Amino acid sequence: MLKNVLKGVGLGLFIATGFTAWITFLRQTAGTAPFDRLHTTYSATVALYYGSGLIGGVIVGLLLPLFRWPLGAALVGMMGVFPAYFGVALTTPDASHAFTRDNVADSAVCAFLVGGTVGIWAWIDDNPKSSGWIDALRHPTSQTVGKVWALALGIATPAYFGLSRWTGSWSPQLVIIVAFVLFVIPLVLATLVTLAWSRARGKREDT
Per residue in 166-207, pLDDT tens? 777 776 767 777 888 888 888 988 998 898 888 888 776 666
Q: What is the dihedral of CA 131, 137, 143, 149, to 10 degrees?
A: 150
Domain ranges of the chain: 2-126, 133-206
CA 169 to mean position of chain CA atoms? 26
Per residue in 87-125, pLDDT tens? 988 988 888 888 888 888 889 888 988 888 888 888 877
- Which residues, including other chains, have CB under 8 Å from residue 175's CB and lie 6 or more apart? 163, 167
Answer yes or no: pTM beyond 0.85. Answer: no
Average pLDDT over the chain, rounded to an integer: 86
DSSP state of 100: S
